[in-house]
Structure 1
Amino acid sequence: MKKYIKIARLDHWIKQFFIMPGVAVALLLTEHSLTDISLFNLFFGFFGTCFIASANYVINEWLDAPFDKFHPVKKNRPVVTENMQLKWVLVEYAIFIVFGLFFSYLVNRLFLYTSIVLLVMGVIYNVKPIRSKDIVYFDVISESINNMLRLLMGWFIVTSDSIPPSSILLGYWMAGAYLMATKRFAEYRMIGNPETAGLYRKSFVKYTEKKLLASSIFYALASTFCLGVFLVKYRIEYLLCIPFVFLLFAYYSAMSLDNDSAAQKPEKLYKEKKLMLLVLLIIVLFIICTFCNFDFLKPLTSSALIKLEV
């Protein structure tokens, strides 16, 4: 039983806290307040997301087994080393789907629809004939869309009568793409052999360190641009947080260059003390900028030219 539970990656449930920025953005942009949030919705929304994610992890581990044996760490996964049976994997997959969709239904209709899309993306990413994880660049784009879906799920926990602005959705999507590209970059460096890397992940046949690093920079720029549009349009005070957001991207990129980098395991990043302190600082700054108005920033939102007296 333990090996079947292990492939559901319950320790990865911490990543489902990526729905919380969606909750925060909904509170900022809608008329809802913190006291309006239903603890019922928050509970079932969070665990509904966790169950859907575990369903995707189950098929991921089963279908990746022939390739994981070429990875220096993942070759020790239960599906590779243990005598596991497909019928029980499918039963487990179905159980997580049922619980995930039922919990999502208890939140609201739009949350349920988003959960279904998240489930479908797991199939697109892992299952042939598409299996997007084998397609260079599309692997990152298709996996990171789950980040945007989590933002939507957080938003729908608060309100189901609107959707977030496209700027924050695209920015969050590209931030996820940056994380995934950086993860692949760290993995590729860690394996250290292009031929072995290609056996582990088909997209690595066409990737190189240079391409992965360049793509991660592209996604970081796209993310910060979209987030900048959102911040300037909806609350100019957040502009004060931007330098620290840039620092976060830079620090994470530097981490990916370390041997056995923590960037390979995003679910373990909470153990990186310096990174967590930087994230905490950014959260505090965003909270301050949410409740404090800085009038000296207001002219930045004006389209009128500043007249100079000569």
Structure 2
Amino acid sequence: MQQRNDAVLAAAIAGSMSAGVLLPSVGLLVEPYLLVWLGILLFLNLIRLDTPDLVATFAEPKSLAVLAAVKLVALPVAMFALTYALYRPFALPVLLLSGISTGLGAPFVANIVGGRLPLIVGMIITTSLAVPFVLPSLVYALVGSEFEIPILHMVLLLSAALFIPLGAGWLTKRHVPAASAFADKNSFLLSIIFVVLINLGMFSTLSEYFVSDQIFLLQTLAASFLAFAAFGVIGYVAVPRHERAAGLISTTYVNNTLVMVFAAQFFGLQVAALAAVYNIPYYAGILVIKKLLSR
């Protein structure tokens, strides 16, 4: 069963990425609704979350506070310094990507590879609320550019893409247990549908890079895999042993879609490209992490 699921996931990831690049007109039809697909994906994977466990995570917040500080401050500063020393053109893109909040797709990853879901959801909430204050300050201090992530926009994003699916999951479990059981039993296959839609939308925006500038694309692809690996290692060692899977997921699976949007607005498409290409290790890494953690 697990081998079949892994094969289905690999085929869905490769197929949807390829379709987005080769058929961008199709991908652009679903791209405006990325937030909707993320919300449904979250609902399917947060339905397994027990609300008391999430409350307990905030009631005893030591692991959460340490991991959030690493994610929002220590990790981006260290990654910026290292990238600035090795290859300066990627320093700003790496700073933006490493300093953004834990991704809304992280619970889907946790349900596949393992990891304590309440800590991951706590990281999504905590880092998403803090990042509008922390990341612009880091960029201004390290780069000198001044930009602003609208706090209201972030709150609305959280409400639409996290709190609504979380509340819907709680209400479904409480009032429609049969639907909850169906969603839980079929969570993986239903989730694959929305992963395909997300990849179609994201990779339709990358299509031109595959045609017009292959060297830049290869450089960006290499940088995305190196960043993915570095994020994972730091998240893995930043928390106690029993939290390591959750730590790895919280630092590696980030809101790269959000970075792509505001990086393009404030710094241009070349800076935004790393966040977009990061979707390749983002999904391809699921199978690798699953095998590593199983050992």
State whether TM-score is above 0.5: no
Higher relative contact order (CA 8 A, sep 6+): 2
- In the superposition, the TM-score normalised over structure 1's length comes to 0.27
**Relative to total residues, which structure has the larger helix share, 1 or 2?**
2
- In the superposition, the TM-score normalised over structure 2's length comes to 0.28
